[in-house]
Amino acid sequence: MERDQKPAPIVVCTKVCKRYGTFVALRDVNLDVSKGEVVCIVGPSGGGKSTFLRTINGLETIDSGTICFDGITIPGPARNVGLIRREAGMVFQSFNLFPHMTVRKNLILAPVRARGLSHAEANERAERLLKRVGIASQIDKYPDQLSGGQQQRVAIARALAMEPKVMLFDEPTSALDPEMVKEVLEVVRELAASGMTMIIVTHEMGFAREISSRVVFMVEGSIAVDAPPEQFFNAPSEPRLESFLSKVL
Amino acid sequence: MKLFEFSEVVRYLPELWVGLRFTLLLVFASLAIGTVIGLLVCFGRLLGRGLLVRLCAIYTTIFRGIPEAVLMFWLYYCGPLLGGVRPSSLMAALVAMSLYVGALLSEIFRGGILAVPRGQAEAARSLGVPEFWVWTSVILPQAFRIVIPALIGVAALTVKVSGIASTIGVTELVFQANVIGGQSYRYFELFTAVGVFYFLILFPMSMIAKGYERRLMTRRK
């Protein structure tokens, strides 16, 4: 490992385990992510990718192991989960925008309630971020008036409004019509270029190859391969990865 | 003598007015108290654990299941045996109706909250929004929209159930009509008037609720 040359890791997952009854969802998952890295997690469905991503911000509890997020550890004091969530933005497969609020209010809620920003500051931030994701004109519409791609871009802006240190993406394009995938990936690409640290669960292999610093292959609840994209896709060292790639590429 | 003598209704209007006021008192007081009970029981079941959850479930099952008339009679006649205090008929009716309405509403509230997609709370929590605001800004407003039609149903039911209070002597609409009818034999006019009164209570209530629901719907289009 060339860990010494990298900047200090911001997310360190150590021996993370999670069970549902007798089913082992995650077994001894170890993953370090450094500042500025973009790590894509790929693998067959049911392999534990989403579950693992959701343990990082405490949406799923873990049975053993530790997760250290920018110095905050879970399991730990009860408030730690809340502290992590403020610094970790998450984007969901199904957008999960608040349907009873306008786009503007969707973006203002968390900065005001979780960061203590004034309404005016949060509003200014909302307008700036919507411009950044290219939908400033939709600010006073309700989510169901927007296309899927627009909704997901709002969801990204909503997460960015907390000015997170890390962004977690849980299959951000899986619920989108094909023609809308591009506009969302474009936003993610722009985020990567700006130096945002990101962990992305995705099925978009081409995108993972293009954008990642590292690609992680998760199968049966553990990480089987963790490699730079060229090595990951060109010289798969693992039979299960080889068979997976032959199916999806 | 005509079959329906409208002047008889007018003549007994003061007595009916007394009845109407008691009916309104029963309905609105039990809806208000029932809402508080309903919220407490609903959150007891959703957020509590162990014994509290079970007690709340038992409360709901019992008071939703017992006929309101039985509950009223029971409180009115058995109250003195248990606590040594004799509740007034109004108090017995009010307590019985509140317990009943509370049981109905607790299940409606719970259903409404559970019907809000899980991803909504997850999204709010993932943003670090404190739990209080997760509930008041995200979950409850959406749950409320879902339960509006059911709330109209409970309001209508409460109005109807209030008539049963006449059997333990609360001088509400049905009781008044019965008493005056006994003296004047004008049952036809009187109970027609009572029916109209009930309609006049319920109709505006459901119109307001429907209008509110429609406004919520169209605003999002």
Least confident of A129-138, B82-91, B92-101, B191-200: B82-91
Structure tokens at A135: 């939908």
pLDDT band, very low/low/confident/very high, at A106 (cuts 50, 70, 90): very high
* A170 closest CA partner among A60, A26, A5: A60
Average pLDDT, stretch B184-199?
91
Q: What is the pTM of this model?
A: 0.85
CB A231 within 8 A of CB A56: no
CA A204, CA A186: separation in Å to the nearest integer? 13
- Is there a contact between B59 and B103 (Cβ–Cβ < 8 Å)? yes
Measure A237 CA to nearest chain B CA, in Å: 35
Domains of chain B as residue ranges with CATH:
6-220 (1.10.3720.10)
Chain B contacts of A158, Cβ < 8 Å? 127
Query: In whole angstroms, what is the distance from residue A116 CA to residue A138 CA?
Result: 25
Query: For residue B42, how far is the Cα from the chain centroid?
Result: 16
Tell if the CB–CB gap between B133 and A86 is shorter than 8 Å: no
How many residues does this entry show for chain A? 249
Of the partner residues B119, B128, B138, the one whose CB lies closest to the CB of residue A82: B128
Contacts of B218 in chain A (CB under 8 A): none
In whole angstroms, give the CA distance from residue A67 to residue A76: 10
d(C-alpha A249, C-alpha A74), whole Å: 37
Chain B partners within 8 Å of A114 (Cβ): 127-130
- Quote the mean pLDDT of chain B: 90
Asked if B128 and A111 count as a contact pair (C-beta separation under 8 A), the reply is no
Assign A43 to helix, strand or coil.
Answer: coil
Tokens for B215, please give them: 């406004």
- Using DSSP, state whether A30 is helix, strand or coil: strand
The neighbour count for residue A156, using CB atoms within 10 Å, is 24
Residue A33: name the closest of A237, A216, A245, A242 by CA: A216
Confidence band for A1, pLDDT divided at 50, 70 and 90: very low
**Cβ atoms within 10 Å, residue B167:** 16
This complex has an ipTM of: 0.91
Record the tokens describing residue A227, joined without a space.
Answer: 């490699």
Q: How far is residue A47's CA from residue A25's CA, in Å, rounded to a whole number? A: 7
* CA–CA gap between residue B201 and residue B24 (Å, rounded): 8
The pLDDT of residue A108 is above 60: yes
Contact yes or no for A97 and B123 at CB 8 A:
yes
> What average pLDDT does the segment B154-158 reach?
92
Rounded Cα distance between B127 and A91, Å, is 10
**Residue A57 · residue B126 · CB < 8 Å:** yes
pLDDT in tens, B67-126: 989 999 998 988 778 777 788 899 999 999 999 999 999 999 999 999 999 999 999 999
At position B118, the amino acid (one-letter code) is R
- Residues in chain A with CB shorter than 8 Å from the CB of B137 are 98, 109, 113
